[in-house]
Structure 1
Amino acid sequence: MTQTQPAPMDGLAQLRAMVAGVLPTAPIATTLGMSAFDVPERGRVRVELVPDLTRHGNPLGTVHGGVHSTLLDTVCGCAVHSTLAPGERYTSLDLTVKFLRPATDASGVLRAEGTVVQRGRRTALAEGRLTDADGRLVAFATSTCMIFPADDGAAG
Structure 2
Amino acid sequence: MTQTQDPATLRTRTFGWSDPAEHASRLGRRSGMEILQAMAAGELPPPPIMNLIDAAGLHAEEGSVTITLDPQEFHYNPLGTVHGGVISTLLDTAAACSVHSTLPAGVGYTSMDLNVKFLRAVTVESGRLTCTGAVLQQGRRTALAEARLVDAAGRLVAHATSSCLLFEMPGA
TM, length-normalised to structure 2: 0.80
Secondary structure, counterpart of 1:134 in structure 2:
coil
Q: Which sections of structure 2, spanning at least 5 residues, go unmatched?
A: 1-27
Secondary structure, counterpart of 1:28 in structure 2:
helix
Map 1:4-153 onto structure 2 (within 5 A). Answer: 8-39=29-60, 41-53=61-73, 55-149=74-168, 153=170
**Same amino acid, percent of matched pairs:** 54
Amino acid at match of 2:63: G
- Identify the residue that residue 12 of structure 2 maps to in structure 1: none
Structure 1 residues 60-106: Cα deviation after superposition (integer angstroms, max 9, x where no partner): 11110001000001101110110111100111100010000100111
Structure 1 residues 46-70: Cα deviation after superposition (integer angstroms, max 9, x where no partner): 01111012x0001111110001000
Amino acid at match of 2:38: A
Give the aligned length.
145
Q: Which sections of structure 1, spanning at least 5 residues, go unmatched?
A: 1-6
- After TM superposition, which residue ranges in structure 1, 4 or more long, deviate above 4 angstroms? none
Amino acid at match of 2:125: A
